[in-house]
Amino acid sequence: MITIPSQDFVAFLNEISKKWQDEWNRNKLFEAEPKEGKKFFTTVAFPYPNSPFHLGHGRTYVTGDVYARFMRMRGYNVLFPMGFHFTGTPIITMADDVAKGDKDLLDIFQNIYEIPSDVIPRLSDPLFMANYFKEEIKMAMRELGLSIDWRREFTTIDPQFSSFIVWQFSKLQERGFVVKDTHPVGWCPVHNLPVGMHDTKGDVEPEIGEYVVIFFDTPLGRLAAATLRPETVFGAVAVWVNPKASYVIAEAWGSKIIISEKAADKLKFQMDGVNVIQRVSPSDLQKMNATNPVTGREIPVLPADFVDPNTATGVVMSVPAHAPFDYFYLKRSRVNLEIVPVISLEGYSDAPAKELVESTQVKNDADLKKLTEQLYKSEYNKGVMRADILSRVRDQLKESLSKVPGSSVPEARKLVTEVLSERGMASKVLEILNKPVYCRCGNEVVVKLLKDQWFLDYGNPEWKRLAKKLLANMRVVPDEVRKDFEYSLDWLQKRACARTRGLGTPLPWDKRWIIESLSDSTIYMAYYTVAHRIKALNLHATQLSEEFWDYVLLGKGDPAKVAEKSGVALETLQDLRRNFTFWYPLDMRHSGPDLIPNHLSFFIFNHAGIFPEELWPKGVAINGFILYEGKKMSKSLRNIIPLRKAVKNYGADVVRISLTSLVDMATDVNFTDSGARAIAETLKKFFDMLDMKSGSRIVGIPERWIQSKLHRIVKDSVPLMTDMKFREFINEILFNMSSYVNEYLEMVRSESREYNPDVIREVLEIWTRLIAPFAPHLAEEMWHRLGHTTFVSTEGWPSHDESKINDVLELEHEYHKQLVEDIRAILNVYKGKPSLVMIYVHDGTLTPLLREAVEIVTKGGNLKDFMSSKRPSSKEEAKTYQRLFQYVTEMGENNKRLALLGVNELEVLRKGVSYIRYKLNLDVEVEPFTNEVKTKFNKEALPLRPAIIVQ
C-alpha cells in the first residue's frame, strides 16, 4: 500500500510537481519548432513586472495553458511563449516609492510577498525591480506548470525588440495611421509632466471635462462665465462673482476678458497669449451691469460665496429658474430679479429650482448640491425647451436659435454652444471634473493642452473598417464578449501613443517621445516566432533594420540584398521568414476582460493595419477575475495571496483547477480554502485508486455500466474542451466520475463480490489523460505509476469506444435508482418497522399504448392528437387513455426513453433487485401486479411505475 495520508497529499503534490517540471524541462518537452502537421500558436498577455504575481494573475495564464496542453494532446504542434513588458511608467513610479520609503508599499513587499529585506532597498532601481520581479514571476509560472517555450523569452526594452517596434511604427506611419494633434492631459505645474492615475495621491484618475464659457460684456471687459449648462443662458438674469476672490482683466480669446486670477493662471496651460493686464476687485465688478449676449439685456453682477474662483473661470451666470443655488442665494441677498423659465419639465411648475428650494428644508450648500443634481438629471433627460424663450432673444440671433424651442436639453445645449461659439460669444475651457486631484508631489493637478502630441488614429475610417473585418472573422470565447469588442472598436478615436517619460522605445522620427506601453504591445506575438533565433544567433539590433523586418514579417524585398546590407546570413533570413510564416497567424490569445477596451482592441487594430488578412489573429479568449474567500483582493483588505504561496499551500494542480474550472469562463471565480481542499480530496481519491489492483475479473452489469459512463464522458470531452467549457468538463471528470466510481463499487458490493481491477485500470488510463491539461503533475505521476514511460503531457487525447456506450444499461440503472428514491420517500413517512418491500410490476399490456403516447408527447403533440389517433370506442376507454396521457406528460425523460425502448419491465426490475435490496438494507420482492393485489392494497400500477407495498 502506498496510501498517502491526506494532510501529506499537498506535500506529495509539491514534490511530484517539482520532479515533473524538471523532467519536462530536461526533455525540452515544450520547445516547439516548425514541423509537418497542424500547428497551434497561443499566447497570454505578457506580465508587467512591477510586483510578484498574486492569485488573481494566475487564472488567465492557467486557462491559456490548459488549452495549450489540450491542443497538444489533440495532436497539434503547440507554441506557447512568454515575454515581459517593461515599457511605461508604473515600474518607475513604484521604484520611486520604494526610494521614498512609502510605508504601505514596503509593508506589502515585506509582509505579503515576503521579499527578503536585503532585496527591498535595491528595488528603488527601476531596472533592478523589473528584472527581480521578472524572475519572481517566471518562478511562479514554472511552479504552476505552464508549458511555456522559455527559449523565446524577451523584454520590451531589449534593443532587438525595440528594432521591431521601430519597424511597427514605420508601417503605421506609412499607412497614415499616426497623426499629430493637441490633447488635454492632467498636468502637474511643478513637475511639468503629465499626470496619470499612477502619479496622483490616492491613485485617482484626473477626469477632464469641458465648460462652456459665455461672454457677458461690461464696460471693463467681457465677463467670462463658465457653465455646464449653456442652454439656460436665456434665463441668466445676473452674473455671480466671489466677493473674496481676486479677479483680473486679461487678454485671452482675442479680447479683454474678466476672470479670476487663479483661472487666468490655469488658462495659460490651455492656450497661448494669455496676458494679465490688471487686477480688478470684485466690488468694482459689482458696480457694473453686464449684457446677456443672447437676450441683449442688461443684468447685474452680484456677489456669491459659493462661486469657486479656482474652478473654470471663477465667474458664473445666474439662472434662478433652473439652478437651486442661484435661486437660493438671490432670495437670501434680497435681490428681486425676474425669474425666467427656460425649460419645461413635467411634474414641475415654471421654475423648478424655486419650487424645489421652497418645498425643501435647505440648510447648507450640500443640500443645494443634492437638489442641483436631482434637477439637472431630470431636466437633461426629460426637459423640453420652452417656446417663449425665443421672444427674449435679440433680433440678430432669433433666426439661428429658432430651432431651440421644443428641442430636448442635450440638443439645445449643442445648438446654443454652436451658435454662440461661431459668433465669438462663447468658447470653452477645460477643467478637472473630480477636482481637487493632487500630484504625488502635493500640487494640484491642472489641465494642460499638449501640442504636437503623437496619436494613433484609431478613428481613421479605413483602419476601423479593417479592424471590424478582423473581429468579424475572429473566434471570441465566450461569445458574449463579442459585443464589448464591437463597442470598443467603434468607440476608439485618436489615442496618444507616446509619452515624455518611462521605459520603452523612442519614437523613430521624434526621439523626444517614448512609445507608450499600450502601443508597443500590440503585435509582439510576431516577435516570439523568431525571438529565440535572434538570441541564439546573437543578432545585433543595428542589423535588424526596417528592410530586415519587412522581409521576415511581410516577405517584402530581396532577401539577398537584405542579407548583404544587414550582415545577416541569407539562410538565416530565410529561416526566420519560415519560422514566422509557419507560426503566424496567432491562433488564440488569452486575457482578462479589463484588456478588451484597450490592449485587445489595439491588438486587433494593429494587426489589421499592418499585416495582410491571412495573418490576422484567429481567436481571443476572455476569462473573469478572481475573488478570494468571496472578496476582491486588495491592498486595503490585505487579502492579497501571492501565487507562489498558494501553490505551496495547495499544490499547483489544485490551484490550477480552482482558478480555471469552478465557474464558467466569463464569471469571476471565488477561490476558497474549502473549495481548494475539496479538489485536493477528489484528486487524491483517483490517485488512491492506483492501489485497487486485486479483485474479481467478472465483467457484469456494474462493469459494463461504468464503462458506458466512462466512454460517454470521453465522447463528450472534445466538444467541451474545444469550447473551453472547463467548468462542465471538470464537473464531469472530477466530481461526477468520482461518484460514478463510488456507484460502481456499490453495485459490485450489492452483488456480494469484488470490483474488477481491469476496469479500474481502464478508468485510470483514460482519466489520467483527461485530467492532464488541468492537473499535469499528478497526471504525469499516475501515468508513470501505471507503467508508462512516455509523458502524458504529449500523449494523445483518449478516444472513446462507441460499443461500450450502452444507453439501455444506463437507463435501467437510473430506473433502479428512481425506485430506490420512491421507496425511500415512502419509508420516510412510514410509521413502524418495515420488514419487506413488495414491488408489483404492471403486466405490460399498456406498454404499446404508452409508447404511442410518449411518441406524441415527444413530438410536442397534445391530448387531442393522441385521442384522434386512438379513437376510443367507449367512455371507459377514453378515460383510460386520458389518464395514461396525463401520466406521460408528467413522466421523466429517463422513463420516456425506456418506454420508447419497450423493455420488459419485470425483467429489468429483477436485474436490479439485489442493488435495491443493498441500497435499502431491506428484503425486497418483485411480483407481477394482479387484481388481487389491487383489491388487497388498494394500489395501482402503471408501466414503469410499479406499485410499492411496504410491510
Partner RNA sequence: GCGGGGGUGCCCGAGCUAGGCCAAAGGGGGUGGACUGAGGCUCCACUGGAGUAGUCCUGCGCGGGUUCAAAUCCCGCCCCCCGCACCA
Which grid cell sits at 490? 467603434
Segment 88-127, which members bind RNA (CB under 7 A)? Answer: 88-90
Q: How many other CB atoms are there within 10 angstroms of residue 114's CB atom?
A: 12
The reply to whether 499 sits near RNA by the rule CB under 7 A is: yes
Closest C-alpha among 390, 399, 442, 404 to residue 423: 399
Segment 557-586, which members bind RNA (CB under 7 A)? Answer: none
Q: How far is the CB of 678 from RNA (least distance, A)?
A: 4
Q: How far is the CB of 509 from RNA (least distance, A)?
A: 18
Segment 329-348, which members bind RNA (CB under 7 A)? Answer: none
Q: Which amino acid is at 732?
A: E
Q: How many other CB atoms are there within 10 angstroms of residue 112's CB atom?
A: 18
The reply to whether 198 sits near RNA by the rule CB under 7 A is: yes
Looking at residue 552, the DSSP 8-state letter turns out to be I
The reply to whether 832 sits near RNA by the rule CB under 7 A is: yes
**For RNA, which residue of 598, 634, 790, 930 counts as binding (CB under 7 A)?**
598
Q: How far is the CB of 480 from RNA (least distance, A)?
A: 5
Q: How many other CB atoms are there within 10 angstroms of residue 235's CB atom?
A: 28
The reply to whether 516 sits near RNA by the rule CB under 7 A is: yes
* Residue 76 or 458 with smaller CB distance to RNA: 458
Q: How far is the CB of 931 from RNA (least distance, A)?
A: 16
Q: β-strands 588-591, 619-622: how paired? A: parallel
- 42 contacts: CB under 8 Å, gap ≥ 6: 64, 67, 68, 71, 78, 79, 80, 586, 587, 588, 589, 590
HSE-up of 241 (CA within 13 Å, CB side)?
Answer: 28
* Residue 405 or 943 with smaller CB distance to RNA: 943
* Residue 238 or 853 with smaller CB distance to RNA: 853
- 942 contacts: CB under 8 Å, gap ≥ 6: 842, 846, 884, 887
Q: How far is the CB of 685 from RNA (least distance, A)?
A: 6
Q: How far is CA 444 from the centre of its chain?
A: 34
Q: Which amino acid is at 122?
A: R
Q: How far is the CB of 415 from RNA (least distance, A)?
A: 18
The reply to whether 742 sits near RNA by the rule CB under 7 A is: yes
Q: How far is the CB of 830 from RNA (least distance, A)?
A: 5
The reply to whether 484 sits near RNA by the rule CB under 7 A is: yes
* Contact region with RNA (CB under 7 A), list: 141-149, 357-365, 376-384, 794-802: 376-384
* Residue 29 or 745 with smaller CB distance to RNA: 745
**CB < 8 Å & 24+ apart, contacts of 91-95:** 91/48, 91/49, 91/50, 91/126, 91/129, 91/130, 91/503, 92/126, 92/501, 92/502, 92/503, 93/198, 93/199, 94/50, 94/51, 94/123, 94/126, 94/129, 95/123, 95/124, 95/125, 95/126, 95/129
Number of residues lying near RNA (CB under 7 A)? 101
39: which strand partners?
A: 77
Segment 634-693, which members bind RNA (CB under 7 A)? Answer: 663-664, 667-668, 670, 672, 674-675, 677-678, 681, 684-685
* Contact region with RNA (CB under 7 A), list: 216-224, 278-286, 373-381, 576-584: 373-381
For 938: left if phi > 0, alpha if psi spans -120 to 50, otherwise beta; the answer is left
The reply to whether 207 sits near RNA by the rule CB under 7 A is: yes
The reply to whether 593 sits near RNA by the rule CB under 7 A is: yes
**For RNA, which residue of 123, 185, 430, 437 counts as binding (CB under 7 A)?**
185
> Is the CB of residue 309 less than 8 Å from the CB of residue 275?
no
The reply to whether 183 sits near RNA by the rule CB under 7 A is: yes
Segment 854-913, which members bind RNA (CB under 7 A)? Answer: 860, 862, 889-890, 892-894
- 53 contacts: CB under 8 Å, gap ≥ 6: 47, 136, 137, 140, 141, 642, 643, 644
Q: How far is the CB of 12 from RNA (least distance, A)?
A: 13
* Contact region with RNA (CB under 7 A), list: 130-138, 204-212, 289-297, 756-764: 204-212
* Contact region with RNA (CB under 7 A), list: 75-83, 245-253, 486-494, 806-814: 486-494
Segment 807-826, which members bind RNA (CB under 7 A)? Answer: 819, 821-822, 824-826
Q: How far is the CB of 199 from RNA (least distance, A)?
A: 8
* Residue 801 or 927 with smaller CB distance to RNA: 927
* Residue 862 or 930 with smaller CB distance to RNA: 862
**For RNA, which residue of 495, 590, 712, 777 counts as binding (CB under 7 A)?**
495
3-state secondary structure of 695: coil
Which grid cell sits at 583? 507560426
The reply to whether 191 sits near RNA by the rule CB under 7 A is: no
Rounded-to-integer distance, Cα 698 and Cα 754, Å: 9
Q: What are phi and psi for residue 862, nearest 5 degrees?
A: -120, -175
Segment 928-947, which members bind RNA (CB under 7 A)? Answer: 937, 939, 941, 945-947
* Residue 327 or 513 with smaller CB distance to RNA: 513
**For RNA, which residue of 381, 402, 790, 930 counts as binding (CB under 7 A)?**
381
* Residue 418 or 821 with smaller CB distance to RNA: 821
The number of residues making up the chain comes to: 951
**For RNA, which residue of 492, 539, 654, 888 counts as binding (CB under 7 A)?**
492
HSE-up of 867 (CA within 13 Å, CB side)?
Answer: 13
Cα-only R_g, the chain: 38
* Residue 667 or 904 with smaller CB distance to RNA: 667
Segment 292-331, which members bind RNA (CB under 7 A)? Answer: none
* Residue 205 or 284 with smaller CB distance to RNA: 205
Closest C-alpha among 10, 9, 15 to residue 780: 15
Q: How many other CB atoms are there within 10 angstroms of residue 448's CB atom?
A: 23
Q: What are phi and psi for residue 797, nearest 5 degrees?
A: -65, 135
Q: How far is the CB of 885 from RNA (least distance, A)?
A: 11
The reply to whether 743 sits near RNA by the rule CB under 7 A is: yes
* Contact region with RNA (CB under 7 A), list: 71-79, 130-138, 167-175, 588-596: 588-596
The reply to whether 197 sits near RNA by the rule CB under 7 A is: yes
Q: Cell 479589463 appears where? A: 594
Q: Cell 516609492 appears where? A: 97
DSSP sequence for 720-763: HHHTT-HHHHHIIIIIIHHHHHHHHHHHHHHTTS---HHHHHHH
Rounded-to-integer distance, Cα 725 and Cα 56, Å: 20
* Residue 307 or 683 with smaller CB distance to RNA: 683
* Residue 558 or 925 with smaller CB distance to RNA: 925
Rounded-to-integer distance, Cα 939 and Cα 302, Å: 94
Rounded-to-integer distance, Cα 339 and Cα 327, Å: 9
**For RNA, which residue of 162, 517, 660, 708 counts as binding (CB under 7 A)?**
517
> Is the CB of residue 44 less than 8 Å from the CB of residue 8?
no
**For RNA, which residue of 336, 396, 828, 873 counts as binding (CB under 7 A)?**
828
* Contact region with RNA (CB under 7 A), list: 401-409, 492-500, 553-561, 606-614: 492-500
Q: How far is the CB of 142 from RNA (least distance, A)?
A: 22
The reply to whether 205 sits near RNA by the rule CB under 7 A is: yes
925: which strand partners?
A: 838
* Contact region with RNA (CB under 7 A), list: 145-153, 331-339, 604-612, 828-836: 828-836
Segment 51-90, which members bind RNA (CB under 7 A)? Answer: 85, 87-90
Segment 425-464, which members bind RNA (CB under 7 A)? Answer: 455, 458
Contacts with RNA, 761-800, as mask; x by CB under 7 A: ----------------------------------------
